[in-house]
Structure 1
């Protein structure tokens, strides 16, 4: 259920279809859990949330003040989102020019499972390193 009208031609990417390194997509999620913000060595604040849509859930990180006012139950639309790997696990984040925007609250169907941030992703190089040598197959 969309709570704010989409722009003409705008389509929302379901969480369940995300793959690492996908960039520049739009999505709409409901905030299920909010973690305490963390601060990087250089003083930047990172806000972390567990979010979901009708297909799956994922960890979402928002850098800076954009995440300061997001609360559990908020429905957030992100235009220009990215799916990134952090320590081998996928996260949803705003791209350099992406912005999260609150478009509603408490009125969205969602699925907590699968949680895409619980699956460890392996790069092609890591996969080749883990595979047995060709002559051993």
Structure 2
């Protein structure tokens, strides 16, 4: 059973994530765990595929917090962010975000659509791809 929400707290489903969203809360189940990677400056990044009832997404956790997260864990992220990395949407925590394990293996979820597999384009890129307004190419 999941931990109760704080008064006024609302969880944002994965399907509502958009590039550059900040400061939202969400609750997901961990489906897959990848081996951690280390950046050139020595930072550790833990990567997961997580899901909720609306779809799945790649989640990156920087630092040591990720080593405590396992497949089947249901985690609540407070002060989450969704960011584009190489044109693909990812979930992460803000600098002062909190990750809390609230259960395990008892959450309805959908693996598809995987929102990290969708290519996102900026508004400028979208306008550049649009045909001219006068209908001539």
What's the TM-score, normalizing by structure 1? 0.94
Find the residue that maps to 1:85 and give its secondary structure. Answer: strand
Question: Which moved further from structure 2: 94-103 or 83-92?
Answer: 94-103
Shift of 1:134: 4.3
- Deviation digits for residues 71-106 of structure 1 (CA, Å, limit 9, x no counterpart): 000001000001100000000100111121111111
Is 1:64 equivalent to 2:59 in the alignment?
no
Is 1:54 equivalent to 2:29 in the alignment?
no
Listed as ranges, the matches of 1:1-137 within 5 Å are 3-134=2-133, 136-137=136-137
Tell me how far apart the structure 1 counterparts of residues 63 and 37 of structure 2 sit (CA, whole Å): 10
- Deviation digits for residues 30-62 of structure 1 (CA, Å, limit 9, x no counterpart): 000000111111000000000000111000000
Find the residue that maps to 1:125 and give its secondary structure. Answer: helix
Tell me how far apart the structure 2 counterparts of residues 61 and 25 of structure 1 sit (CA, whole Å): 16
Find the residue that maps to 2:4 and give its secondary structure. Answer: coil
Shift of 1:68: 0.9
Q: Number of matched residues?
A: 136
- Structure 2 gaps, min length 5: none
Find the residue that maps to 2:128 and give its secondary structure. Answer: helix
- Structure 1 gaps, min length 5: none
Shift of 1:133: 4.0
Find the residue that maps to 2:15 and give its secondary structure. Answer: helix
Runs of 4+ aligned structure 1 residues displaced above 3 Å come to 132-135
Tell me how far apart the structure 2 counterparts of residues 51 and 124 of structure 1 sit (CA, whole Å): 27
What's the TM-score, normalizing by structure 2? 0.94
